[in-house]
Structure 1
């Protein structure tokens, strides 16, 4: 490890531009895409009293009855999180039904993005219905571009389409360096569920 001297001067100047809603993308093969989006949602939710508008999370691959750790705590604090899908595609008994759930879920998410009542809308794992062809990319792009100017949208999932990355303000790619699963360690409750 290289020891560094802490910076003694500010490394950047504060931008002078107008505050506006951002398109934020968390993509890549590493862990942490949804977790980062949930942290962002918690931060925004904690500031609701300041901006007076809502935060919503839509999970495109989770079932509506999902009871993962994030669902339990978000329910306790009143942060809406909604499963829109029917789980992993390889568990689906009917991919046409899975695609229809994604399209129906998109209509809910789209309405939240455009309604002007939300400060932040998280579209968790939306890249999968996009790359499977279940959602029209052009409609998602159009919605992102037509949203009210102060609405933030965070999209998560692997292999985010380049068209979304092109219009995004902030893109973070999570890179897998090492993963316990590859060493034969199963997913841990409370960490990966």
Structure 2
């Protein structure tokens, strides 16, 4: 015998299913998605790499450009390059290590030129531009150039941009914006970055 509580649960789930089905039926536009993953919390790049893995897992193609952490060993790069994902990264790595605006700007511009090639390539289904927000904030890469490349990319190509303090025009252009909020971070408590977890 069905209890009142069970019956109410069934009715709630029916309403939920009807609502979800209606939204799925209404979402019929086919195009690549531009996503920005920003905020001060940990996990922005990790989320982007997860989507790259998902893409490749479906037999699709992806490319990755890293603008800040290029000098570090990268577990995701170690894995994804084995399955043919091209990686380009700034040779200078962390900008606060070099403390040289001229060399950082030059490195950022060289890396961005490769990114633009990926953004014009119809054979690439997904492009991850990891930590690009910093390049825009520091004026190493022109915002207008980024916006133009994003607007002119192939219709079915998806793009993910990660990094803190994403420029307002990037978030306005994006189809999906996720903000990662910092609640606690092990590093703030003096825990050293762990290979296989943090990088």
TM-score of the two chains, using structure 2 as the length reference: 0.86
Aligned pairs, number: 184
Deviation at 1:88, TM superposition (A): 1.3
Which residue in 1 is equivalent to 2:41?
30
**Where does structure 1 lack aligned partners over 5 or more consecutive residues?**
none
Are the equivalent residues in 2 in contact too, given 1:128–1:158 (CA < 8 A)? Answer: yes
Structure 2 CA distance for aligned equivalents of residues 26 and 182 of structure 1: 22
| Greater fraction helix | 2
Deviation at 1:143, TM superposition (A): 0.9
Deviation at 1:192, TM superposition (A): 1.0
Which residue in 1 is equivalent to 2:13?
8
**Is 2:61 aligned against 1:54?**
yes
**Where does structure 2 lack aligned partners over 5 or more consecutive residues?**
1-8
Report the CA distance shift for 1:170/1:95 in structure 2 as closer, same or farther (over 3 A): same
Q: Deviations over 1:88-121 (max 9, x none)?
A: 1111153211111111111111111112121100
Which residue in 2 is equivalent to 1:45?
56
- Matched ranges for 1:1-193 at <5 A: 8-9=13-14, 10=17, 11-12=19-20, 13=22, 14=24, 15-48=26-59, 54-63=61-70, 66-193=72-199
Larger Rg belongs to: 2
